[in-house]
Amino acid sequence: MVADLQDRASVREALRGQSFDVVADWIAFTPDQAAADVELFSDRTRQYVFISSASVYQKPPTFYSITESTPLYNPYWQYSRDKIACEDLLVREYRQKGFPATIVRPSHTYGVTQIPAAVTSWTHPWTLVDRMRKGQRVIVPGDGTSLWTLTHNSDFAKGFVGLMGNVHAIGHAFHITSDEVLTWNQVYEAIAAAAGVKPNLVHVASDLINAFSPEQGAGLIGDKANCGVFDNGKIKSFVPGYQATIPFADGIRESIQWFEKRPERCTIDVAFNELSERILAANDAGLRMARG
């Protein structure tokens, strides 16, 4: 079935006479998109899975361990606020009309096509490895000791598939993450080790990064600069046997090897490199001034 999702008439035509066990929407980011899905699929699916984000959880956190009952509050990142608004709409539709929604909140999930980091180029992820291999300095937010959780997509899939068609999951929200927790220093060191080098890490305040790049800063202050430690008890109780089994050191080694076999994917983000150098120069100037 082919239709332009922005053209709801064409979507309704494509779906005419169709019904589904499960509909999962990964690209609904705003309440109007979620509302359009409710209209389209109310009578067409037994379960609607909305892909939200773990960034919706309270920022800054008031408790180190995140559960599905952690308050949803993120005044720093519009992306997260829009996801919260989508969730609110779907919960209301479930409570008032029985719309069969299940909410899934992935955290920092990666696969072979990604080099996950806190400050990086999302469109040209090899840029970070290139900087490391050239001995260039790499920015780590804060002092690099905040705790973070990275989840391989094949591990995420185990929990996600277990929720699909699971009647017990309707009306519930879940995050699906690894139980491995690393500091950002450890994350960057693991990337460098997989690349066969020792990293030249420079710690830079998230506020300074945000001052130079609100785009990078929103994802830091609204998410990655905070500790992200998840209690996966709920997904494990709804999907018996769920367990993330791929440590980051193994997953990132696989990613590095994937890129190395595809030189055409090893592209460099010139603008990100220039931004990094401006941030580093400002950080150097501040340190020189402080040291007299």
**Residue 147 is part of a domain; what is its CATH number?**
3.40.50.720
pLDDT of 84? 98
Domain range spanning residue 270? 8-291
* pLDDT greater at residue 1 or residue 164: 164
Using one digit for the tens of pLDDT, what is the confidence trace for 108-130?
999 999 999 999 999 999 999 99
**Rounded CA separation 175/228 (Å):** 12
Using one digit for the tens of pLDDT, what is the confidence trace for 55-92?
999 999 999 999 999 999 999 999 999 999 999 999 99
Helices (H), ranges, the chain: 8-14, 31-41, 78-97, 126-133, 153-163, 184-195, 206-212, 214-219, 233-238, 248-260, 270-291
Q: How far is CA 187 from CA 140, 165, 175, 193, 285, in A?
A: 10, 35, 21, 10, 27
241: left (phi over 0), alpha (psi -120 to 50) or beta: left
Q: Is residue 2 part of a domain?
A: no
Report the domain count for the chain.
1
Q: Is residue 22 part of a domain?
A: yes
Pairing verdict, β 182-183 and 147-148 = antiparallel
Q: Is residue 3 part of a domain?
A: no
Flag whether pLDDT at 38 surpasses 90: yes
Using one digit for the tens of pLDDT, what is the confidence trace for 186-209?
999 999 999 999 999 999 999 999
Q: Is residue 1 part of a domain?
A: no
pLDDT of 59? 94
Using one digit for the tens of pLDDT, what is the confidence trace for 231-289?
999 999 999 999 999 999 999 999 999 999 999 999 999 999 999 999 999 999 999 99
What single-letter DSSP state applies at residue 278? H
Q: Is residue 283 part of a domain?
A: yes
pLDDT of 6? 84
- CA 211, 213, 219, 225 dihedral sign is negative
pLDDT of 5? 84
Q: Is residue 211 part of a domain?
A: yes
pLDDT of 113? 97
Flag whether pLDDT at 154 surpasses 90: yes
Q: Is residue 181 part of a domain?
A: yes
Average of per-residue pLDDT across 128-137: 98
Q: Is residue 218 part of a domain?
A: yes
Smallest CA-to-CA distance from 229 within 284, 142, 123, 147 is with 147
pLDDT of 292? 86
Mean pLDDT of the chain: 96
